[in-house]
Amino acid sequence: MDHHQLRRLQAAFAARAETASPMGRLLCESLGTGPVPAVADVFGQFYRTISTEAPDVPLFLSALHHLALTGGAPDLAAFFPSCGGEAGPGVTGAAAAAVARGRDDLLDFLLSRTFQPHVVERSAALAAGARAVGARFGGGLSLVEFGCGGGLCLLMDKHGYECPPVVGRHGLDPAPFNPADPADRLVLESFFFPDEPERIGHLREAAAVLAAHGPLDIRQGTAEADLLALLAEAYATMPPGNTLLVMDSFVWPYLTDAQVQQVVWQIQHLAGRLEAHKPLAWLQLEPFGGGPAEVRLHTFGWSDPEDRQVRRLAETDWSGSGIIWLE
């Protein structure tokens, strides 16, 4: 790696440290200062393989966490609470050694995965939005979530949140996971920092809920290309007296402006063809404009084409916690 690449990599570690947990910050500072030779070697090979110089530090840290979770770095796992270990100052040396020894496994993870944390806590904000839909239209909900990952938020009514009756659950994602599968769940756990036992615990609990109530209807595909077909199918099979509720959470940052416009067009296309007693709603939890995330609710009545509303329900952080209600 040349000097400029190292500087970019160092800056990427520093940026990740700003939003990291205490252990995550320590790992960023120790591995990204320089960066250490083993880290630079992994990223150097990564750049050569995929012809990019964009340092995906969150995915790299996830790869390192996954190595510990799956038994590939027992010395490091001894310091990770997520692996049953105990945090201590030796974690920095163990991390550097694990990177050097696990170079090939880390590269495989980097080349085959995208950083896709499943934040179950967002279900609280989505469930509140779903209650607003129930208050507006009555009846039950048929859920369609794009960018759903493993579909954990499709089970928000099973996580202890008050919610209207759910009559259908449908998901769409470019690379869906099955959190009820042990191998997939370990990948999802790796997307959190090793000292975030509460978030990892919530994920494990949600995976157990999915195992009890699944499997879910989750299709592989992109929102900009494949959403309309799923919307049409879900809407056609939904009994009258219910509402089709489309949902997305933290999908907007991964889409280009053109892709966003395509998603909007597909939802508006369905909104122009509603049937009697079958309204449509669209619930978003997104960082619009790069500021705090907002919970926005779009509603489309069936009896009047002009019956359309957009409401800003709340502001929150990336995790969906710390909700500030706006109405």
Query: Do 227 and 126 belong to one domain?
Result: yes
Domain that holds residue 307: 122-178+215-325
Taking residue 211's Cβ as centre, other Cβ atoms within 10 Å add up to 14
Query: Do 161 and 49 belong to one domain?
Result: no
Tell me whether residue 184 is in a domain. no
Query: What is the percent of the chain with per-residue pLDDT over 90, rounded to a whole number?
Result: 81
On the question of pLDDT at 50 being above 80, the answer is: no
Query: Do 85 and 126 belong to one domain?
Result: no
On the question of pLDDT at 123 being above 70, the answer is: yes
On the question of pLDDT at 241 being above 70, the answer is: yes
On the question of pLDDT at 52 being above 70, the answer is: no
pTM, rounded to two decimals? 0.91
Query: Do 265 and 141 belong to one domain?
Result: yes
pLDDT of residue 53: 65
Reading the block at residue 60, the tokens are 């790299």
Residue 122 pLDDT level (bands cut at 50, 70, 90): very high
Query: Do 133 and 243 belong to one domain?
Result: yes
> What CATH number is given to the structural domain containing 231?
3.40.50
Query: Do 99 and 240 belong to one domain?
Result: no
CA nearest neighbour of 314 among 120, 128, 160: 128
Residue where one domain finishes, among candidates 112, 138, 155: 112
Lowest mean pLDDT among 28-32, 45-49, 55-59, 127-131: 45-49
Residue where one domain finishes, among candidates 67, 91, 112: 112
Query: Do 50 and 155 belong to one domain?
Result: no
Query: Do 237 and 290 belong to one domain?
Result: yes
Residue 2 pLDDT level (bands cut at 50, 70, 90): confident
Torsion-angle region of residue 169: left (phi > 0), alpha (psi -120 to 50) or beta?
Answer: beta
Query: What is the percent of the chain with per-residue pLDDT over 70, rounded to a whole number?
Result: 99
- Over residues 160-211, the pLDDT tens digits come to 889 999 999 999 999 999 999 999 999 999 999 999 999 999 999 999 999 9
DSSP 216-275: -EEEE--HHHHHHHHHHHHHHHSPTT-EEEEEEES-GGGS-HHHHHHHHHHHHHHHTTPP
Q: Which helix (H) or strand (E) holds 58?
A: helix 57-69
Residue 9 pLDDT level (bands cut at 50, 70, 90): very high
Contact present, 73 and 31 (Cβ < 8 Å): no
- Distance, in Å, from the CA atom of 314 to the CA atom of 326, rounded to the nearest integer, reads 5
Total number of domains constituting the chain: 2
Query: Do 166 and 314 belong to one domain?
Result: yes
Tell me whether residue 58 is in a domain. yes
- Distance, in Å, from the CA atom of 124 to the CA atom of 262, rounded to the nearest integer, reads 28
Q: What angle do CA 233, 238, 242 make, to 5 degrees?
A: 140
What's the rounded mean pLDDT across residues 47-71?
89
- Distance, in Å, from the CA atom of 113 to the CA atom of 104, rounded to the nearest integer, reads 14
- Over residues 60-119, the pLDDT tens digits come to 999 999 999 999 999 999 999 999 999 998 999 999 999 999 999 999 999 999 998 999
Coil, helix or strand for 109?
helix
